[in-house]
Amino acid sequence: MACAVTAFVLLLKVGCRDGGIGESTEPAAPGTAEQADVLPSPRRTRAAHRLDELRSMIASALPGDRIELANGTYTNMIPIEVSVRGTEQHPIVITAQTVGGVTIGGSSSFHVKGASHVILRGFKLTHGVEEGDVALKIAGSTHVRFTRNELALADTTSLSTWLSLEGAGSGYNRIDHNSFHDKTSANVFLAVYGNAPDGSLGISRHDRIDHNYFHKLTLDREGGECLRIGDSKRGLLSAHTVVEANLFEECNGDPEVISNKSSENVFRGNTLRNNKGSLVLRHGNQSVVDGNFFLNNAGGMRIYGHDHLITHNYLEGGTGTGAQGPLVLNSGCTEEDTGQGTDCSAASRVTVAFNSLLGNKSAHLVIGASSRPIPARDLRVENNLLVGELGKLVDFERAPDGFTAAGNMLWGAASPGDMPSTGYVRVDPRLVRAEDGLMRPSAGIPMAGAPDVGADRTGSGVVSRRPLTPADVGPHAP
C-alpha cells in the first residue's frame, strides 16, 4: 500500500516542465530533438558592426527581427537597454554573429526591462560589475530567453550578483545553455526574485533554468551560492521554477550550492559533482527534488519545510557530515515558515522514495539536529537503497515525530542505525561500476531490473538516465 500511495503522489506532483501538474518525470536526454536550439525564421535580419548601431537597432526592433552583432571584441560602458516586445510566433532575436564570437568587456552589457518574447544569444560577457550590484538584470519581463552565453565577468569586487530575474510581473523566462564560471566574490551566479504586478512583494514565476554549466565559484566561505530562488521573506510564495539538466562543479562558495527559498519548485535531472555544498530546500514548501546525481560532494541534500518529494536521486561518495551529510531531513527552529525571518521550519510530511545512497562517509540519512529544537514530523522513507561501510546508515540526531519506513534495502558493514527493523531488508545488491560511472546492481539480484528500489528508472530494462558532463551543457552543447 505504501508503494501505491507514493506512486500516486508522484504522478500528481512530479512532472510538468513549467512546474505544474503532469505525468512525465524525465527531462529530455542530452542532445535529443526536444533540446535542439532551433530559432524561428526571421522576418528581417539586421547586421550591426558597432555598439551604437546595436543600440539603435534594438530600440527600433519589430516582432520577428533578428539583430546580429558582428564577431569581435567590444568595450561597453553604458548598459544596452532591451525593452522591446516580440510575439510568441515572432520573437525578437539579439544574437552574436556566431555563438561565442562576440566578447563584451568594459563595465556593463545588457539591461532587459519590460521586455517580452526576446532572445539574447551567443555572447561572451567579460565586463565588470559595481560593488554590491547586479551585472545583468532581466527585470519586469516575460518570455525572455537568455541562451548560449558565457559569463566570465571581471570579478574585482567583494560582492556581486551576475544575473537576476526580478521586477514586477516577471515570469515565463528561460535561462538555458549558458556557462557561469570563475567567480571569486560573495553572492550568486544567478538569482530569482521579482515582485507582484502591483509592485508588492512577489517572485518571478514559471521560469525555466536548464542545461547551464555552473563551475568554479571559489569564495570558499558562506555567502556565495551558485543559484538562489527567492529569499527568506519570499519562502511562502510559489515560484513554480523548473531547474533541470544543469551541471554544478567545483562550486565552493557556500554550504548551499543551490538555495531554494520559495515554494512549489522542481529540481530534476541535475548533476552536482565535486562541490563543497548541498542542494538545500531552506525556505518554502511543496517542492520536488527528482532524478538528480550527487557525486563526490562535501554535501548532498538538506531539507526543511513541508510536503516535499525527494525521489530517484543518486548520491555517492559524499564526504560531508552532520548538516552536510548526504541526505538530511532537518529539525527546525520554528514550526511554520512565516516569511518574516531567517529561521527554518522543520521538515514535515516529506516523502523520500526510490533514492540510491552509496558509499558515503557519514550516515546516509540524517534526521534532525541537536541544535534545532522542533523535530521533523510525519516522514515517509520508502524503497531506497542504502549501502555503506562506516558507522550507521540512518541517524536520528533528533528523533522525528512520526517516521514511516517501508521497502528499503540496506547493505554493507555500516549498521542500520535508527532505521526501524520493519522498514528494510538486508540484501547484497552486488554493485558493479557501469560504463556511465555509476554503481549498479548485478543481474539476478532481487531488486535488479525492478524500478521499485533505488534511483534507477529502468522501464523496459534499459537505464534511462546518466550524469551530465560538460559536453552536455553550456553554450556549445547539442
Give per-residue pLDDT as tens, 451-461.
578 888 655 55
pLDDT at 336: 75
Q: How far apart are CA 392 and CA 390, in angstroms?
A: 6
Model pTM score:
0.92
**For 251-305, how does the pLDDT look when each residue is reduced to its tens digit (9 = 90+)?**
998 899 999 999 999 999 999 999 999 999 999 999 999 999 999 999 999 999 9
Q: What CATH number corresponds to the domain at position 436? A: 2.160.20.10
Looking at the structure of the chain, the number of domains it has is 1
Q: By C-alpha distance, which of 284, 271, 278, 251 is closest to 313?
A: 271
The answer to whether residue 478 sits within a structural domain is no
Confidence of residue 39 (pLDDT cuts 50, 70, 90): confident
pLDDT at 447: 60
Percentages helix, strand, coil for the chain (3-state, rounded to 5) are 10, 40, 55
Instruction: Assess whether pLDDT exceeds 90 at residue 450.
Output: no
**Residue 110 forms part of a structural domain:** no
Residue 112 maps to a domain? no
Q: Express as a percent the part of the chain with pLDDT over 90.
A: 79
In-domain check, residue 207: yes
In a domain, 57, yes or no: no
Q: Is residue 124 part of a domain?
A: no
| Structural domain for 428, as ranges | 2-37+148-472
Q: Is residue 106 part of a domain?
A: no
The grid cell for 270 is 541535475
Label residue 32 by pLDDT band (50, 70, 90).
Answer: very low
pLDDT of the residue at 16: 36
Set of cell numbers at residue 476 = 556549445
Q: pLDDT tens for residues 65-74? A: 999 999 999 9
CB-CB contact of 437 with 271 (8 Å) = no
Question: Considering only CA atoms, which of 408, 462, 455 is closest in space to residue 3?
Answer: 408
Residue whose grid cell is 546518466: 466
Residue 332 one-letter amino acid: G
Q: Is residue 46 part of a domain?
A: no
Per DSSP, the residues of 338-358 read -SSSSPPBPPBS-EEES-EEE
